[in-house]
Amino acid sequence: ASNQMWGGRFASGPDAIMEEINASIDFDRTLFRQDVRGSLAHANMLANTGIITSEDRDKIAQGLNTILGEIENGTFIFSRRLEDIHMNIEARLSELIGPAAGRLHTARSRNDQVAVDFRLWAKEELQRTETALTGLIGAFLDQAEVHADTVMPGFTHLQTAQPVTFGHHCMAYVEMFGRDRSRVRDCIERMDESPLGAAALAGTGFAIDRHQTAESLDFREPTRNSIDSVSDRDFALEFLSLAAICATHLSRLAEEIVIWSTPQFNFVRLSDSFSTGSSIMPQKKNPDAAELVRAKTGRINGALVALLTVMKALPLAYSKDMQEDKEQVFDAAASLELALAAMTGMLRDLTVNGAAMRAAAGSGYSTATDLADWLVREAGLPFRQAHHVTGRAVALAEEKGLDLAALDLADLQAIDAKITAAVFDVLTVDASVRSRTSFGGTAPDQVRRQIAFWRSRL
Ligand code: ARG
């Protein structure tokens, strides 16, 4: 049988393979709420502008609400033959209310219909992402507050660099996820336009009111070009871009948790509820959640590249290629939501081993820069020379198997006569951390100041 929506010019129905490649119902059924919502707004507007009667509008609205209930309680029968969510719903509407159903699609095309549905969905998803990010930032702020004075080694090249605090390290992630949250807000702001009423691509001759539908769907305004309205998937690409950046941030944190929770580092302990055991090795406690968060980044980055590639070189306006947008976005969104929730849970439960962090912070000559800075400040050496003198002190300490702070004053003075006993005050990790008072530095007072700033922006 030929298609009941567009079968007029067709003598036969599609090949089974045609049906299979064409159908999107298996994934775009996710959009049923948005599809009903968009249709209700459209039908209302059609009645308000006198394009359909209010009796037909009422029948349509009643039918759509029945369908919503059927889908929600699982009694709706989806059909692949009906291709997508839009035609599945419209076909059912016609079963329910008869000919009035055929008036719903006046001054509308599936091209603007799918665009408005997908935007509505994306906007809601972005709002969920924003909330999830706020939760994660909150978890970091709580850890940062508890650990504003907890000294740990700061790393570059994953080699001990200078002492910092765990609170300061947490606040680095607050900055990262804060930027992610502002990217989410930017994306919502830019995509907040309704494409409904663009119809197939050229607009419509019916006297519709696009401002009315935009307003009733909570969009700021209607889109301004009908061709762009049905060809644009920037909002999906932007969502995937910000998701990929956010997932990349999550993967760096996940990696640090994996490294830090090894017995070799022993900086942090994951709670039992966020780790797993081994079926053979009884002693094991594995950071599976962190590893999976690290891995989800691959899927999300993949989704971004996939959709960029689908959209590349696509001529205006709508092409069926664009149907491939939804699975990527749905999968990336679900992955990101789960990764954010898992990370927030892990972080809330995380126990910090301050003693191990402190011990590690004091090894690896982490206060060598403090010695060089002291020579500049107290002995008037140019920094380059101070660097050289300090290098010799580190070499000596290494040779003797001692920390810098454990060297004899006489040995230090043999390297540079200007060194006095006062130097030992700057060689401890606490003194080092306390001294980093520049704006945004690791000194506990600075960290507390940044925590207060972010608390006020939560
Ligand atoms: N299922 C389609 C999609 O996801 C809906 C739009 C179809 N429009 C069309 N002219 N075939 O993109």
**pLDDT for 448:** 97
User: Is the pLDDT assigned to residue 3 strictly greater than 80?
Assistant: no
CA distance 180 to 343: 15
- What are 455's two structure tokens? 């608390």
For the question of residue 157 being annotated catalytic, the response is yes
Does ligand 1 come within 6 angstroms of the Cβ of 42?
A: no
**pLDDT for 186:** 98
**pLDDT for 222:** 98
Does ligand 1 come within 6 angstroms of the Cβ of 322?
A: yes
- Pocket probe mutation, ligand 1, options 31, 89, 114, max atoms within 8 Å of Cβ: 114
CA distances from 205 to 35, 39, 51, 211, 223 (A): 23, 19, 11, 16, 17
Beta strand 193-194 with 221-222 is parallel
Closest atom of ligand 1 relative to the 326 alpha carbon: 4
**pLDDT for 13:** 83
Residues 189-228 pLDDT 10s: 999 999 999 999 999 999 999 999 999 999 999 999 999 9
**pLDDT band with cut points at 50, 70 and 90 for residue 397:** very high
Q: How far is the CA of 378 from the centre of ligand 1 (A)?
A: 73
Q: How far is the CA of 293 from the centre of ligand 1 (A)?
A: 33
Question: Whose C-alpha lies nearest to ligand 1, atom 2?
Answer: 323
Q: How far is the CA of 187 from the centre of ligand 1 (A)?
A: 24
Closest atom of ligand 1 relative to the 200 alpha carbon: 10
For the question of residue 278 being annotated catalytic, the response is yes
**pLDDT for 1:** 55
Question: Catalytic pick from 54, 271, 278, 363?
Answer: 278
**pLDDT band with cut points at 50, 70 and 90 for residue 336:** very high
Number of C-beta neighbours around residue 89 at 10 A: 27
On average, the pLDDT of the chain sits at: 95
Closest atom of ligand 1 relative to the 83 alpha carbon: 1
CB 233 within 8 A of CB 325: yes
Does ligand 1 come within 6 angstroms of the Cβ of 130?
A: no
User: Is the pLDDT assigned to residue 112 strictly greater than 70?
Assistant: yes
Does ligand 1 come within 6 angstroms of the Cβ of 111?
A: yes
Number of C-beta neighbours around residue 46 at 10 A: 26
Note whether ipTM > 0.90 here.
Answer: yes
CA distance 163 to 152: 6
Question: Catalytic pick from 157, 273, 279, 456?
Answer: 157
**pLDDT for 281:** 81
Q: Can you tell me the mean pLDDT for 354-378?
A: 92
What pTM, to 2 d.p., does this model score? 0.93
Question: Whose C-alpha lies nearest to ligand 1, atom 11?
Answer: 320
Q: Which residues contact 64 (CB under 8 A, 6 or more apart)?
A: 36, 39, 40, 43, 89, 93
Number of C-beta neighbours around residue 369 at 10 A: 17
User: Is the pLDDT assigned to residue 388 strictly greater than 90?
Assistant: yes
Does ligand 1 come within 6 angstroms of the Cβ of 82?
A: no
**pLDDT band with cut points at 50, 70 and 90 for residue 2:** low
CA distance 145 to 168: 9
